[in-house]
Amino acid sequence: MALHAEKTRDDTQMDELKLVTKEKLTQKSFKSNILDFMIEKAFFIFGMMAIFILFLLLFFLVREGSGAIREVGLMEFLTGTRWYPSSPQGAGYGALPFIISSFMVTTGALLIAIPWGIFTAIYIAEIAPKRIREVLKPVVEVLAIFPSVVLGFIALVILSPIIANTFNLSNGLTAFTASVILSVMVLPTVISISEDSIKSVPKDYREAAYALGASKWETIKMIVVPAAKSGIVAGIMLGFGRAVGETMTVLMAAGNAIDMPLREFFGVVIPDFFTSVRTLTANIAIEGSDVAWGSLHYSALFVTALILFAITFVVNLIADLLISRQRRKLQND
């Protein structure tokens, strides 16, 4: 104790030196502290940009669409089956055919892309030798940025004649054609999210299964894939969002007729995949470029955009929750 209480001359000098340095430092850094503070606030504004844009987007969709909602009624949009915006007597704003078409085309695409994407993801993550994996990854990346208009073009000039011949149709531009080409479009999304999810399953899981005598496939089927389930489902949801929002491929491949794409089959009404359909996205692209700004028709297009936004918002939210659930689950284990 005594030793500590008694300060040597060196110590006192040292203390003085520290004090001086500290003063100098605070004097110098006062200015840069303010600068730093302001820079931090500036970056905060950039950071808030995403929230701001999301609100702005929603605000404008609602603002521009409110006229049509007031005049036509939201229920008419969601359940009406007649879309004839320019008809002078009895204009109709029923978007139900578009909504059904969007869901049909998307469902069709996912029915193809889900097995295709998940098996490919399993192959890349678990089975493929390193060299093949290094080929597959860029292939998926290139597919992911393949311009949708080129896919639509291929559907139009190559796929639709093949489909017309195979199924004996007069016109090959159908919901089915759109589904096929759209499946290629959503494939990269399903693959990369599923692959990430499969890879995030800890090694211990696999080792434990091997130790219990499971084969590699049994481990994949009974341990790895179930553990990665929420992530894989999230990939499917994101694929759904991508497909339902895709415009160009569907616009060019689906034929764009505005009737209800349903037919009777032994007294039951079922969706008809071999008929020409027009989706929500395609309709906006077709009518949006030459509509008079501020007209009722213009406003009605914003209502259909709002419906589209609502669908993708919910789908993305679910995907988001699933991904964070998977992350939490794997962290806890």
Partner 1 sequence: MTKQMTEKIWFTICGLFAAMTIGALLLLLYWIVSNGAHVLSWTFITDTPRKNMTEGGIWPAIVGTFYVASLTILISVPVGIGAAIYLNEYAKQGPVVQIIRMSIRNLAGVPSIVYGLFGLAIFASMLKLGTGLITAAITLAIMVLPWVITSTEEALKAVPTSFREGGLALGATKWQTIRQLVLPSAIPGMATGSILGLARAAGETAPIILTGAAYFLPVLPASIQDNFMALPYHLYILATQHAQSSVVRPIAYGTALVLILMVVLLNLSAILLRNHFRKKNELL
Residues numbered 8 to 37 that lie near partner 1 (CB under 8 A) are 25, 29, 32-33, 35-36
Task: Answer yes or no whether residue 212 interacts with partner 1 by CB under 8 A.
Answer: no
Angle between helices 296-332 and 229-245 (to 10 degrees): 170
Task: Answer yes or no whether residue 42 interacts with partner 1 by CB under 8 A.
Answer: yes
Cβ density class 99-112: b for 16+ within 10 Å, e for less: bbbbbbbbbbbbeb
Which of residues 38 and 208 has its CB atom nearest to partner 1 in the complex? 38
Which of residues 275 and 279 has its CB atom nearest to partner 1 in the complex? 279
Neighbours of 128 (CB within 10 A): 16
What is the phi/psi pair of residue 268, to 5°? -110, 135
Q: Which residues inside 271-330 make contact with partner 1, applying CB under 8 A?
A: 281, 284-285, 288-289, 293-294, 301-302, 305, 308-309, 312-313, 315-317, 320
Which of residues 266 and 293 has its CB atom nearest to partner 1 in the complex? 293
Judged by CB under 8 A, which stretch of 141-149, 201-209, 225-233, 257-265 contacts partner 1?
A: 141-149
The least CB distance from residue 75 to partner 1, in Å, is 22
Task: Answer yes or no whether residue 54 interacts with partner 1 by CB under 8 A.
Answer: yes
The least CB distance from residue 136 to partner 1, in Å, is 6
The least CB distance from residue 270 to partner 1, in Å, is 27
What is the phi/psi pair of residue 246, to 5°? -70, 135
Cβ-contact 62, 306 below 8 angstroms: yes
Which of residues 162 and 269 has its CB atom nearest to partner 1 in the complex? 162
Closest Cα to residue 95, out of 110, 73, 66? Answer: 73
CA angle 113, 117, 118 (to 5 degrees): 120
Cα dihedral: 289, 290, 295, 297 (round 10): -70
Q: Say how far apart CA 173 and CA 279 lie, in whole Å.
A: 13
Q: Which residues inside 146-205 make contact with partner 1, applying CB under 8 A?
A: 146-154, 156-158, 184, 187, 191
Q: Which of 53, 75, 208, 270 binds partner 1 (CB under 8 A)?
A: 53
Closest Cα to residue 309, out of 100, 61, 56, 64? Answer: 61
Number of residues that bind partner 1 (CB under 8 A): 93
Residue span 103-122 as binding mask against partner 1, x where in contact by CB under 8 A, dash where not? ------------xx--xx-x
